Amino acid sequence: MNRSGAESDKRTAVEVTKDKNGIGQVVLRNPRGASARVSLHGGQVLSWRTEHDEELLFTSSKAIFKPPKAVRGGIPICFPQFGSRGLLEQHGFARNKIWVIDKNPPLLHPNDSNGKAYIDLLLKPSEEDMKVWPHSFEFRLRVSLAEDGYLTMISRIRNINCKPFSFSFAYRTYISISDISEVRVEGLETFDYLDNLCDKERFTEQGDALTFESEVDRVYLSSSDVIAVLDHERKRTFTIRREGLPDVGVWNPWEKTSKSIADFGDEEYKRMLCVDGAAVEKPITLRPGEEWTGRLELSVVPST
């Protein structure tokens, strides 16, 4: 999983463990002490911590860690459907399935391996999945933690069907914040968005940054490749870089909707914000044998 030799073992660590329900988890550590924890339930990143042991992702205190329920928090993977835009269950089935560790992944660019702690996971459809979405695919996911603490997720989805299929996709990224009223999102100004609170009607972002005073559930379309989330109180800025993911989902349920979500605390909306790298408006279509790659890179830096 890492470069061979004792040299790389000192630098990075990949540890396979189990959670209290017996589900496999992989802990990635870099030499400075930053870490990421990935569950085989959903191929979901559940934790991403700085070298000072600060948690950067939000997970609800009421989250359910038992399949088939997806975990509320971290970075669930929405595939082959985002939200309720289709006939499948909300956000598709990939986040509810048990993935396996891919022992022989196809090669990636050396930059995606060198000096990084990483794990490769694989999802193939079960007979049950084929009944609801009758397409054969291989979904390979690499999660890596670099020396500088950057967290990268690379999804590669291949059509092994004899006919084309289409899907939508998102990395639903629950960011941990100090207070939703103190946060601003930059990089979405002037872009069009679909507002899920207004029957997916299309609007154009007028503000020079996105701030929050009520429920927000939007998909920004073909927006800039880099989005910044500024948390004034914690004096830190998250940077979200995307490749192959033209759209950005932004969600905060605010007070009223929070109370209607069983696995979410009534007041927890104040401490989380979802900012997703996504491909929603124009579904991805793969012909037989074709492969799509979607990449998300998350970093965090101190800010004033």
CATH label of the domain that carries residue 291:
2.70.98.10
- 95 is annotated as contributing to ligand binding: yes
Question: What does the mean pLDDT of the chain come to?
Answer: 93
Least confident of 240-244, 280-284, 300-304: 300-304
Percent composition of the chain: helix, strand, coil (DSSP 3-state, to 5) = 10, 45, 45
Distance of CA 100 to the CA centre of its chain: 18
Residue-range definition of the domain harbouring residue 258? 6-302
Q: Answer yes or no: is 1 within a domain.
A: no
> What ranges make up the beta strands (E) of the chain?
13-18, 24-29, 35-39, 44-49, 77-78, 100-101, 117-123, 137-145, 151-159, 165-171, 174-176, 183-186, 192-195, 201-204, 216-220, 226-231, 236-243, 247-252, 272-286, 291-302
Q: What is the value of pTM for the model shown? A: 0.94
Q: Answer yes or no: is 131 within a domain.
A: yes
Q: Which helix (H) or strand (E) holds 127?
A: helix 127-132
pLDDT one-digit tens code per residue, 222-268: 998 999 999 999 999 999 999 999 999 999 999 999 999 999 999 99
pLDDT one-digit tens code per residue, 180-231: 999 999 999 999 999 999 999 999 999 999 999 999 999 999 998 999 999 9
Query: Contact 170/82 with Cβ under 8 angstroms?
Result: yes
Q: Answer yes or no: is 80 within a domain.
A: yes
* Structural domain count, the chain: 1
Q: Which helix (H) or strand (E) holds 256?
A: helix 254-260
Q: Answer yes or no: is 157 within a domain.
A: yes
- 81 is annotated as contributing to ligand binding: no
- 206 is annotated as contributing to ligand binding: no
Q: Answer yes or no: is 294 within a domain.
A: yes
